[in-house]
């Protein structure tokens, strides 16, 4: 059964895409990381919208190529995608547990820093926007020119010192 994916469900204020997430788990368990990567991209909405009409076998082939290239390029201390993909199971578990519960976060009384990068994937920026609208005591900061790897991955444009400075200023 195919489950529709909607970009309007960022941070999943409605039902989580449970069928797609279950498919992802099964693909990881079977070691089909190329397939898992395609499924993950659909769940989180990575890539241009045109990918929705590309046949899955072609997307798997492209993913297999990306995984092979990444395996050769990435060096310590960074983990290659074939190691990171299985860890996404924990991210998806959190998505499922929080699905439909965004409004409950309105009762969080702590001060919260919502930190993101202007080059982060759309789904992460959308999640921060949803949290900004929900959390009563929040400060949102978008770091210009940085993406999701800003806190750690120097090989991919990371700037941990910029992230650390923002956190220190918030904690003051």
Q: What is the DSSP letter of 79?
A: P
Indicate the number of domains in the chain. 2
Which residue in the block uniquely carries the two structure tokens 């904690």?
Answer: 171
The pLDDT value recorded for residue 4 is: 39
Whether 117 and 140 share a structural domain: yes
Cα 82 to Cα 66: distance, rounded to the nearest angstrom = 10
Pairing of strands 138-143, 112-117: parallel
Residue 88, H or E segment = helix 81-98
The pLDDT value recorded for residue 14 is: 62
Pick the last residue of a domain from 51, 80, 98: 98
The pLDDT value recorded for residue 17 is: 84
User: Could you tell me if residue 146 is inside a domain?
Assistant: yes
The pLDDT value recorded for residue 149 is: 83
Cα 114 to Cα 108: distance, rounded to the nearest angstrom = 14
Count the alpha carbons within 13 Å of 94 in the hemisphere toward its beta carbon: 5
How many other β-carbons are positioned within 10 Å of the β-carbon of residue 164?
11
Whether 41 and 123 share a structural domain: no
The pLDDT value recorded for residue 139 is: 97
The pLDDT value recorded for residue 11 is: 56
The pLDDT value recorded for residue 43 is: 84
Range of the domain at 124: 104-171
Whether 15 and 78 share a structural domain: yes
The pLDDT value recorded for residue 7 is: 38
Averages of pLDDT over runs of 10 residues in the chain (172 residues) are 40 74 96 96 81 92 96 85 92 84 91 94 85 95 91 82 96 94
CB 18 within 8 A of CB 96: yes
The pLDDT value recorded for residue 77 is: 80
**Dihedral Cα 119, 120, 125, 128, nearest 10 deg:** -120
Whether 120 and 63 share a structural domain: no
């Amino acid at each position: 059964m195919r489950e529709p994916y909607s970009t309007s469900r960022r941070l999943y204020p409605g039902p989580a895409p449970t069928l797609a997430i279950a498919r992802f788990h099964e693909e990881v368990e079977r070691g089909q990381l190329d397939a898992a990567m395609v499924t993950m991209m659909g769940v989180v909405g990575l890539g241009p919208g045109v990918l929705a009409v590309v046949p899955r076998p072609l997307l798997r082939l492209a993913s297999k190529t990306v995984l092979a290239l990444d395996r050769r390029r990435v060096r310590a201390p960074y983990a290659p995608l074939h190691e990171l993909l299985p860890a996404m199971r924990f991210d998806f578990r959190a998505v499922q547990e929080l699905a439909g519960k965004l409004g409950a976060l309105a009762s969080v009384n702590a001060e919260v820093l919502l930190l993101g990068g202007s080059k982060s994937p759309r789904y992460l920026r959308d999640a921060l926007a949803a949290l900004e609208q929900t959390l009563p005591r929040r400060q949102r900061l978008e770091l210009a020119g940085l993406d999701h790897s800003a806190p750690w991955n120097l090989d991919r444009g990371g700037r941990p010192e910029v992230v650390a400075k923002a956190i220190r200023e918030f904690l003051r």
